Structure 1
């Protein structure tokens, strides 16, 4: 019975750490080298893009979409470009129209760019990564790395191992 309780606590700690790693992966910025190929603006509400099958039933807003292509793999990716304003995650982004204008200029020049984004692309849920910023790259430039995310991953791994050792020591010391 004690063994089952010990493994239950380890499973709870593992689940907590998986949620925390997922949260860091979603909310913290990532970077990608890409080429902008096009863009689009849609009127959306809380249910998604407004259409005949989804009429507006509440407040609406503009959502910008930026289409990109990876220069080496030719894989396409669609990004959302919306303001985060004062909401979560705290990027305090109020310049989505400016980012859209920059993306248009880079698309006209077929310029290699670095996209800073957060979020996940989930096709089934029509969920898109949200662009935070976009800047031009030259051939000599390297894409930035999410160093702070890497540090948090290492800290979460350490806290997981320390938690497991604490639980094992707690249950093994009472024998």
Structure 2
């Protein structure tokens, strides 16, 4: 049971951690090398990793998606999709896909004369499943060594921890005031039942013993 308990909580932590890692904003220092548009199929299960624009038909199986090709500071490529989130989840309320594309176009550069930018995005990149993170904003920075402090993530995670600690404190207080006394009463009642059963068993043994002695003529 102990291993099952820890396995359960490990799975819960893994699911919550994965959800937060996918949803919360992340920041990459990159150099933009290209922007393009490509038609993507939306019919399989990976459609959950694509945005659902407000003007998209529920029966649409493919659509054109804008992409931003970049090179990260370590020299590895990273491709971002550029889609509006609208009023859907996650709540980034992004409606400026066209403006973001223009900003990315303006930041294109070559290795000889690089322009560095910070792209704020959410989501994951998986080449096997053709999953792309969604760029939310792009902003020019002074160089590749700029340090970005994720204030939004810090605030959100701090609030979540405070909420969890408050819920835990409320639960412990409720348990101490309402559940523990009931469990103590149940335990005391069970002890009384066991004592009564033991006493009844002792009396029954005494009666049976006297009956046996009478039948054997010991008395």
> How far 1:30 moved relative to its partner?
0.4
Give 1 or 2 for the bigger CA radius of gyration: 2
Q: 1:140 to 1:131 in 2, by over 3 A?
A: closer
Contact 2:87 2:93 in 1 (8 A): yes
Report what 1:62 is aligned to.
Answer: 64
Gaps of 5+ in 1: 49-57, 167-175
Q: 1:140 to 1:124 in 2, by over 3 A?
A: closer
> How far 1:77 moved relative to its partner?
0.6
* CA distance in structure 2 between the partners assigned to 1:62 and 1:144 by the alignment: 32
**TM superposition score normalised by structure 1:** 0.72
Q: Which secondary structure state, in structure 1, belongs to the residue aligned with residue 128 of structure 2?
A: helix
Relative contact order, higher structure (CA 8 A, sep 6+): 1
Matching residue within 18, 22, 27 for 1:26: 22
Give 1 or 2: higher strand fraction: 1
Contact 2:69 2:78 in 1 (8 A): yes
Q: 1:78 to 1:99 in 2, by over 3 A?
A: same
Q: Deviations over 1:15-45 (max 9, x none)?
A: 1011101111000000011100001112334
Gaps of 5+ in 2: 45-58, 173-219
Contact 2:30 2:144 in 1 (8 A): no
**TM superposition score normalised by structure 2:** 0.59
Q: 1:140 to 1:22 in 2, by over 3 A?
A: closer
Any runs of at least 4 consecutive aligned residues in structure 1 with deviations exceeding 6 A, and if so which?
Answer: none
Number of equivalenced pairs: 147
Q: 1:8 to 1:140 in 2, by over 3 A?
A: closer
Calculate the aligned-residue CA RMSD, in Å. Answer: 2.9
Report what 1:139 is aligned to.
Answer: 143
* CA distance in structure 2 between the partners assigned to 1:140 and 1:118 by the alignment: 20
- Asked whether 1:38 is paired with 2:34, we answer yes
